[in-house]
Amino acid sequence: MTQTTHRNINHLRELESESMYVIREVAAQFEKPALLFSGGKDSIVMFHIAVKAFWPAKVPFPLLHIDTGHNFPETLTFRDELMEKTGATCIVRLVQDSIDKGKAVEETGFSASRNKLQTVTLLDALEEFKFDAAMGGGRRDEEKARAKERFFSHRDEFGQWDPKNQRPELWNIFNGRKRMGEHFRVFPISNWTEMDIWQYIYLEKIAIPNLYFTHQRDMIIRDGVFLAKCDHIPLKESDRVANMQIRFRTIGDMTCTGGVESPASSLEEIIEEVAATHTTERGTRFDDKRSESAMEDRKKEGYF
């Protein structure tokens, strides 16, 4: 007989359980889901939970990486190694191809970024493979515009998000019903914060790219932001270049991911550092500084 005494799980296990539930709902409710993989810690955690959700079977959907061509080489190496280790499939689609086909126009100038162009490549890839659900590692704590995002986010046939036309989500019931041509973005780790992610990586001993840990690197110092020196960023007169002890809090394109000066070389040290910092992760991102509603605008167009 079971005895009813107290049973409790910690916040990370409860978040994990919720995310697993959401990922399994996606596998059950959609015909052709995909998991958007960027090589950043959020998508690594999401993938880790997916692996757990279906074990001992393999993850029943492919990963999809929209490669801007501006990734850190370390990210790509990490991605390939992870796929090899887990036996998962990762489909890669290149923003460069969209540019070559004339579907997307490269931004020019010193702070040109391919962040916006990703949307075109992503929507084309969804179309190409007839994916009807794309899981992303977006978290509600990241940005104001995400605070009202649903787990199951409905997109019309143009991939657009209408903030006024989102379905209420109650209890743990998720409505993935849709018409032909429509699809869903699903955010299984909606309720996680940056801190939760780090604590979970620590708890589960999840491997992450070494860019997250401190290392020496040549950095461009521009408007108070530290950008990794690389071929994709043309130097301005006012830029300074210095060799710094740096790590990255988020990993995106080299053109818009700012580093932080930090000696943190272990997960414990990162957790300690995150607990003590006073700026959001997005504070280190160049793209969100463009306008207060930058993220919201990109989302409406179908951005992650």
Partner 1 sequence: MSQDIQTGYLNMELLRFTTAGSVDDGKSTLIGRLLYDSKAIFTDQMEAIEEASKRRGEEHVNLALLTDGLRAEREQGITIDVAYRYFATPKRKFIIADTPGHIQYTRNMVTGASTANVALILIDARQGVLEQTIRHAFIASLLNIPHIIVCVNKMDMMEYSEEVFESIRVAYETITAKLDIHDIRFIPISALHGDNVVKRSTKMDWYEGPTLMYLLENIHIANDNNLVDGRFPVQYIVRPYSDQYHDYRGYAGRIAGGIFQKGEEVTVLPSGLSSKIKSIDTYTDELHEAFAPQSVTITLEDDIDISRGDMIVHKNNEPNVNQDIELMICWLNEKPLALNGKYHLKHTTSDARCIIKEIVYKVNISTMENATDDKSVKMNDIARIKIRTTKPLFYDSYKKNRITGSLVLIDEGTNETVGAGMIV
Shortest reach from residue 25's CB to partner 1, in Å: 7
Distance CA 287, CA 66 (A): 17
For partner 1, which residue of 106, 107, 130, 144 counts as binding (CB under 8 A)?
144
163 binds partner 1 (CB under 8 A): yes
User: Is residue 283 part of the contact set for partner 1 (CB under 8 A)?
Assistant: yes
DSSP 179-192: -TT-EEEE-TTTT-
Which of 102, 164, 216, 238 touches partner 1 by CB under 8 A?
164
Strands (E), 33-160: 33-36, 63-67, 90-94, 133-135, 152-155
Host H or E run for residue 218: strand 215-222
Interface with partner 1 (CB under 8 A), residue from 102, 171, 231, 238: 171
Of 232-251, which residues contact partner 1 (CB under 8 A)?
none
Span from 13-21, 206-214, 222-230, 247-255 in contact with partner 1 (CB under 8 A): 13-21
Rounded to a whole number of angstroms, the minimum distance from the CB of residue 68 to partner 1 is 25
Q: What angle do CA 199, 201, 206 make, to 5 degrees?
A: 165
Q: Any contact of residue 274 with partner 1 (CB under 8 A)?
A: no
Size of site (CB under 8 A) for partner 1: 70
Tell me the torsion sign for CA atoms 285, 287, 291, 292.
negative
Question: Which of 217, 197, 213, 196 lies closest to 264, judged by CA?
Answer: 213
Interaction between residue 265 and partner 1 (CB under 8 A): no
Q: Least distance to partner 1 from the beta carbon of 115, Å? A: 19
Of residues 74 and 301, the one with the C-beta less far from partner 1: 301
